[in-house]
Homo-oligomer: A and B are copies of this chain.
Amino acid sequence: MTEPARHSIFDQGLEQNPANHVPLSPIVFLRRAAEVYPERLAIVHGEQRITYAEFHARCQRFASALEARGIGYGDCVAIMAPNVPALLEAHFAVPMVGAVLNPINTRLDAATIAFILEHGEAKLLITDRELSPAVKPALAQLGRNLPVVDIDDPLGLGGELLGEMDYEAFLEEGEAGYVSIEPRDEWQSLCLLYTSGTTGNPKGVVYHHRGAYLNALGNVIQFGLTPNSVYLWTLPMFHCSGWSYTWAATAAAATHVCLRRVDPALVFQLIEREKVTHLCGAPVVLNMLAHAPDAVKRPLPNAVRVMTGGAAPPSAIIENMEKQGFSIIHAYGLTETYGPATACLWQEDWNELDLTAKSEMMARQGVANLTLEAASVRDPESLAEVPWDGQTLGEIMMRGNTVMKGYLKNPSATAQAFAGGWFHSGDLAVRHPDGYIEVKDRSKDIIISGGENISSLEVEEALYRHPKVLEAAVVARPDERWGETPCAFVTLKTGAEATAEEIIEHCRRAMARFKVPRTVVFGPLPKTSTGKIQKFLLRLQAREL
């Protein structure tokens, strides 16, 4: 609706001032937690235990040390580390001086790391010893002098120290009681996160203070975090700043339990020892926990809520985890949306469904989060909303305050992503009559066979229901007659044996004939560090079959 320009008595003498307007920023969450709950356990890392007062004091020293080196407004600080306290602390200390944090994916190769350090114009790199095999050659390729601080974590395996000093010594350089710089405004840049980009150079997604603050509050509400929660870091913090849980769990004054690697034995140990109540992870992490050997599994000491996303979870995985007592929430989002943007919120009438039917409902991507303005499925060209019929394919589009500022130094990609006033996710989906969104595929993953669209996810969903299948991925294989046909890559459970015919027969019983894979290949699946199966590699493989 439009409205005529009008003036009103409510426009006069009621201006913003320092008492009634403050830029939204996630930095305040730490200051408040330290003030209200100084003695509460903030971070657990192996035997190290850090209270909220200490967490805040360490970040003050960290920020002060940055400032002493001339790092300030709009400067980029890169960090390359697994889930250790330094990476969590960086999410507060770096913005405390007005700088921008650039957490780098720890599985990247030297060339990509060098590209990122160059593109983001990092002024300082903080890097974990264990990652030196990739970081050392990256620094050599960079061709400029970049100050480096090492995280010399006793829990890290091997590697060498590359920098001028250790992180703990760096903190000692800073002064206690450092007072954070308030952001100039809440649109100020906060983080720089490169998308994994399966082809070409990665794009640098830029977050702002406002979005991080709001997504954190939304996450606290959605995931039910309280000061009594214990959050286990099974999700990499470099991935969308840990889906904003770096800030959200701190806003709730919950306990962060660090974890360098997702080893199921260690995960079950920590759940038991630290009384973990919340964890996040890609479906591949859940699958790992669901299929862990019985010897490492332990009974849950309390209710454990698990948020999964980053890839569509086959309902069989949800079902498995629920059977073990975990309570699953399925969220959907992208790096561009600070992680979670939608969630498959529970509906009361699902209580009457059996576990399989429930899991199928829960495997959908759901509805917009409270702090996102809108998520909808639209025609990629006309931007018209698709009917809520569970059939019509469109692209998931979002708008709201928890959508990125744009891509760094990439105005054309930014303009494309925001065309028509909506953020274009690149994910193809339908909208069900109940308003729930269901992803059918990435635009590039859809298989077109004889002119018919085949959702690779639908075929995978059926494969995961085969009792011998551990993991599955389906991609297009070029075909002279049909254009493309579905090609399945399958990993069987330990000790299981199956033939391609057996798998194909199973699919025939589950779906229309044209959707059934023509080819089945057995073996392990290539994955990114965040657990996404690398379909582009499988697609190359399928082409050469």
A residues adjacent to B (C-beta < 8 A): 1, 3-4, 6-22, 24, 28-29, 32, 35-37, 40, 72-76, 97-98, 100, 121, 179-181, 187, 189, 192, 206, 211, 217-218, 220-221, 224, 226-227, 251-252, 345, 347-348, 367-368, 370-371, 373, 398-401, 403-406, 408-411, 414, 417-418, 421-423, 435
Contact = CB atoms under 8 A, between A and B. Distances in A.
A414 B14 contact: yes
A189 B10 contact: yes
A378 to B, nearest CB: 12
Contact of A8 (B12, B14, B75, B399): B75
A18 B22 CA distance: 22
B72 A435 contact: no
A317 B251 CA distance: 31
B19 A423 contact: yes
A327 B373 CA distance: 34
A421 B179 contact: no
A370 B9 contact: no
Contacts of A7: 74
A39 to B, nearest CB: 8
A7 B1 CA distance: 38
A6 B73 CA distance: 7
Contacts of A18: 399, 421
B373 A28 contact: yes
Given A37-B347, A251-B370, 12 more contacts: A6-B72, A10-B408, A14-B206, A14-B406, A16-B187, A17-B421, A19-B418, A19-B423, A21-B187, A22-B400, A35-B435, A217-B218
Contacts of A409: 9, 12-13
A317 B459 CA distance: 62
Most buried by B among A28, A211, A218: A28
Contact of A21 (B226, B370, B401, B414): B401
Given A189-B14, A221-B217, A401 B24 contact: yes
A401 B14 contact: no
A153 B218 CA distance: 37
A179 B405 contact: no
A488 B76 CA distance: 64
Contacts of A20: 211, 399-401, 403-406, 418, 423
Nearest to A409: B9
A9 B408 contact: yes
A22 B221 contact: no
A10 B368 contact: no
Contact of A1 (B180, B408, B418): B180
A74 B189 contact: no
A14 B74 CA distance: 13
8 contacts: A1-B179, A3-B97, A16-B187, A22-B400, A32-B368, A36-B435, A221-B252, A224-B226
B418 A17 contact: yes
Contacts of A74: 6-11
A523 B425 CA distance: 68
A16 B423 CA distance: 12
Contacts of A206: 10, 14
Given A73-B3, A180-B1, A423-B19, A13 B221 contact: no
Kindly list the 8 A-B residue pairs having the minimum CB-CB distance in the complex, ordered from nearest.
A8-B74, A10-B189, A18-B421, A14-B405, A20-B403, A19-B418, A14-B406, A22-B373
A22 to B, nearest CB: 4
Contacts of A399: 18-20, 22
Contacts of A252: 221
B217 A3 contact: no
A224 B187 CA distance: 29
A401 B214 CA distance: 13
